[in-house]
Amino acid sequence: MQELCQELGECLYQQSQVKTFNNLGEIEETVRDLMIQYVNPEIGIFLSKQVPRKPQVGYEQ
């Protein structure tokens, strides 16, 4: 999992299209924005397609 996250971070950093960052905060903000735009929706789509394996709390069959 850690290796995949590092690869994703590298990919997002490369996709940032920012030539020079002034500080770590700028890098984090840019990568976070790209995650919100591209990664989070894909994760949401994936999760919405999963069949619940456990009954939800308070859900009776």
Mean pLDDT of the chain: 86
- Return the minimum-mean-pLDDT range out of 13-17, 26-30, 37-41, 57-61: 57-61
d(CA 33, CA 1) in angstroms, rounded, equals 21
User: Residue-wise over 26-49: b if at least 16 C-beta within 10 A, else e?
Assistant: ebeebbeebeeeeeeeeeeeeeee
pTM over 0.75, yes/no? no
Tally of residues, the chain: 61
Please, what is the end-to-end C-alpha distance for the chain in angstroms?
A: 34
Percent of the chain with pLDDT over 70: 89
